[in-house]
Structure 1
């Protein structure tokens, strides 16, 4: 339900400074911080959601010890083998830390190089999802399968889980596993292509069984559509989006893939794979809700249009509607294009035209615009609680620059509120609201710069109007180690799952520590998921040496583990379960 657009690069770039306090109000509770139990799986991991059972969902990035298929690598090529300390050992599957790192770098960078996707190189998923408490974590594999060669999952299929309910149902999106296609072309050249047939499809995992939540395209199109699921409620209704129809030209391209005479000198699997990568340009993407049964099977689905109807002769593939959250009343919220273009200036940029989007509700088959359009440049709804309070962002200009501002709106009464962040012009991005009327998210935290402002996690209690820096509710010892950058979700027990930055020992892709020639460890910035648990007996601590905000930037540190190895731009969308 939350629109999450934070990856490790983004978080570190906007948080690599010493934590500084915003004085909390006296009524604020304190919190105990616990690391999510996935630190042994990957160097970077990200908070997604926490439901009322306390079950957390976490996404790990570029996990340790990925399986490498040596059979498709060219060990006769010196340009390839020269990167290793011991090429013969590597060919036999015996790796030093440095050689495993170099091999992983070759696969990841070779697959997604500057010239596009190299379909002859193994594909490794950047992200996989886990659920658990503060002690154990279990994999949510999505569509991945066990590979007999490695006696483990292929780790070629990504899974990004966004929400859960009851600790048993998990929804998100993922790809299908990649597989080999051996092909000999007309000139007798032999190739082994590494492809799959679905790049992104929504799924639900119910009691350990994964079920696809298909888009609502009619009939057999010959290709799997795109879909994503962001939220699930207690009645087992799921909110997301799907490709609901194809353009005529795109359907013609699909048909030609299956025709030996029109496909050309290429296998059908590769033709479909290449087409699937461009499906967003050949399909109509609309908000969708799915109704599940107790086993996670789809009973029905409803697609929702936009707040306007495009002209019949208009190319409307670029217009979308998306549902990010759904409450237990069955009301979904999200965004819709309006068909209009507006001009504004973003921080650090120039005035430009942008497609206009507005916050919308999706219920009973109808799409409804939420806020007065004339008051905002754009708007987006990211969550809704069971009292029908909606939280999201509006884009408004201040001194000629457009920044996000938080809004809270009640569907029943029409009441609205626009809370200020850490200072007057600070951008604020909410992520979740619980049934206690508490909102969490992140806000810009320094006022003396115009671009690249630092971020801090906040908690806002709409009942009393308190906007609090969550860092100030930790102990001084925890604040010395961690900086809470964004709070992603909050349940009805006021437990919070958040992303934190802290300094950690740099590690190889094997998980082993990186050592200098002198045998010393190397420290670097890290982003990790943490759980914040209310402490009814705790008291707010005044920490020595902590400045009062707004503050002056103190210099950013952006040392990077494997920056050339990691795909650090991701869009995480998540939602909170009520």
Structure 2
């Protein structure tokens, strides 16, 4: 018996927004990491739920992150391992505590067009991490404590990102029964540059300027030194091996008070003598999205070609957009993009027009003056209604892209902008959305190549009170063409297959614990475009349709012990349910025409020289990633 999903669950059947736009000479794309046998996306590491491609170089290699470890697998009746696509219970989360082991949830990967299996994500180890599906000698899953991130790479194989320190266990001395250890680590986040063309790969930690808290003796307060570890991350790297990012330069004043409390309150003679390092670790962990240990943070530039005797690259701190004076506030600046001239873009706190009552975090760029010294430049929109802005990337012609926030029609929205840093007499430009004029659709630009092609994401519905679904976009600065990438795809890359003289949804069939088969329609939808290289290859994130499974009240996957298969989740009518999971996607320019077929009668499809249309999709709760385009060289 085959169970078929109701059409109402289709992404394209939910709702449709049609717009009119010029599409002459618009490019056509195909998904290049589509497995033609299984019709699945090679889009995440085995043992993880979600995959995100963040940077692609000019050699058709990319870096990305897999997130969401599948801890719910089971042995089938033949002793193999079943790794369920939706293997994480919906309510399951990884939280950090000094009383529980540290478990990583972010894993780095690479993929390449010329690999043995094109574009298949391959786990990349940083700081000794193992792949998320690794088993030990007893067949138990290995638990990693190091979270790792890649944000960019260059053409000489240098990859940049960040990682956390491994877990340390300190014997517990307290009153909690059965508590054996405290769990801490030396630092929460540290930038890293990896030369992967060497064997083995060479890792270069990018240690921030500030890592250690030192207190001078005063009155009855003894002198003390506490290793905090600091905070740093590398966001991007250019072809000359110059990387940018950000790092800690000082401890916030209120955080100094917290560390002092840890020092002064430690008493080995009480019943629960938590060591100073344990107390500090508890404050380093986020609670309700806030950390009690916070750092003054500045944009940094690392010259990976100049290494000192201690193995550290030459680091330059970029100027903040203001003079802090004796303020106790936390001021932040971040480098997020870099071009071949080592111009840096990102954001910084600034007092707008020197007004100390108007502190904002705004887009910024840093360029060297005639003396080779970086100078800060504020991006002024001449619009007091803009609340904040930031820039993600800059190309070799000095065109920077980013987004700003302002209220439009009473709702806070983000809008994509482009700005020529070589012509600062002109204001930043907000392109027309889909060539129909400015709207309240939120949009964010993530990358720009040297041809002026910009990629990012944009909302595609006008609902005021609901989360808005998003789509990846491609914007061509030369002719001002703004396009939904999904309207540029060939039919196979939208989930269709040829059916006589027409097209039909590709049917995916899978068996569950009942022995029955679920047949559902294949669907792909590009929700985020993060990077574009000079050949027009785009990488980002797509939704792919997958079945959901049943869990018991404890969050355990329900398995049929006879056949070792999980049971599909059912809706109120007893019908199987599917969901949409995020996967890495690789889009390559191709010949032919964009898909003009649709299985939704009221949808007006994209036509190369006619009207374009947008299809709805569920909103994707993507974590904020400082995605970085990357190109590098020795």
2:594 to 540, 551, 558: 540
Q: Which residue of 2 aligns with 1:388?
A: 398
Does the aligned pair in 1 maintain the 2:12–2:616 contact within 8 Å? no
Instruction: Report 1:98-497 matches (<5 A).
Output: 109=93, 112=95, 117-133=96-112, 134-145=118-129, 150=136, 154-166=143-155, 168-185=157-174, 191-207=180-196, 208-217=201-210, 222-247=227-252, 250-251=255-256, 254=259, 265-277=273-285, 281-293=293-305, 298-312=312-326, 314-317=327-330, 319-339=331-351, 356-363=360-367, 364-374=373-383, 377=386, 378-414=388-424, 415=426, 416-422=428-434, 424-425=438-439, 426-447=441-462, 449=464, 451-480=466-495, 481-497=523-539
Structure 2 counterpart of 1:347 = none
What is the match of residue 512 of structure 2?
Answer: none
Once the two structures are overlaid, the 10-residue window that deviates more, 217-226 or 436-445, is: 217-226
Unpaired stretches in structure 1, ≥5 consecutive residues: 1-11, 68-84, 342-352, 559-567
Deviation at 1:54, TM superposition (A): 1.1
Distance in structure 2 (CA, Å) of the matches to 1:139 and 1:374: 45
CA gap 1:47/1:461 in 2 versus in 1, 3 angstroms: same
Give the SS at the match of 2:432: coil
Q: The residue matched to 2:180 in structure 1 has which SS?
A: strand
Q: For 1:406 and 1:65, how far apart are their aligned partners in 2?
A: 38
Instruction: Answer whether contact 2:17 2:460 (CA < 8 A) is retained.
Output: no
Deviates more, 1:286-295 or 1:183-192: 183-192
Residues 51 and 513 (structure 1), Cα distance of their counterparts in 2 relative to 1, 3 Å cut: farther
**How much has 1:340 moved relative to structure 2?**
6.3
Q: CA deviation at 1:333?
A: 0.4
Matching residue of 1:42: 48
1:526 to 581, 595, 608: 581
**Once the two structures are superposed, what CA deviation does each residue of 1:185-209 show, in whole Å capped at 9, x if it has no partner?**
3899863122212111111122223
Shift of the 448–174 alpha-carbon distance from structure 1 to 2, 3 Å rule, reads same
CA spacing shift, 1:499–1:190, aligned 2, 3 Å = closer
1:214: how far off? 1.1
Alpha-carbon distance in structure 2 between the residues aligned to 1:507 and 1:209: 41
Identify the residue that residue 217 of structure 2 maps to in structure 1. none
Q: 2:469–2:619: 8 Å Cα contact kept in structure 1? A: no
Offset of 1:21 from its aligned partner? 6.6
Q: CA 1:128/1:218 → structure 2, altered by over 3 Å: closer, same or farther?
A: closer
1:20-77 CA-to-partner distances (Å, cap 9, x unmatched) read 676661211111102345353422211211111111112111233589xxxxxxxxxx
Question: Is the CA contact 1:459–1:469 (under 8 Å) kept in the aligned structure 2?
Answer: yes
Q: Which has the larger radius of gyration?
A: 2
- Equivalent position SS for 1:25: coil
Which digits, 9 at most, give the CA deviation of each residue in 1:279-327, with x for residues without a partner?
A: 7744211111111128995421111232221232x2122x211111011
Give yes or no for contact 2:241–2:305 (8 Å, CA) kept in 1: yes
1:198 and 1:236 map into 2 onto residues whose CA distance is: 25
CA distance in 2, matches of 1:322, 1:523: 40
- Distance (Å, rounded) in 1 between the aligned partners of 2:258 and 2:488: 57
Three-state SS of the structure 1 residue aligned to 2:48 is coil
> Quick check: which one's helix share is greater?
1
TM-score (norm 2): 0.70
Give the 3 Å change call, closer, same or farther, for CA 470–244 of structure 1 in structure 2: same
Aligned-pair CA distance for 1:219: 6.7
Deviates more, 1:39-48 or 1:238-247: 39-48
**Structure 1 residues 190 and 37: alpha-carbon distance in aligned structure 2, compared to 1, 3 A threshold:** closer
Could you say if the C-alpha distance between residues 285 and 213 of structure 1 is closer, same or farther in structure 2, counting changes exceeding 3 Å?
Answer: same
Q: Which ranges of structure 2 fall in alignment gaps of 5 or more residues? A: 1-8, 34-40, 113-117, 215-226, 368-372, 496-522, 551-555, 606-611
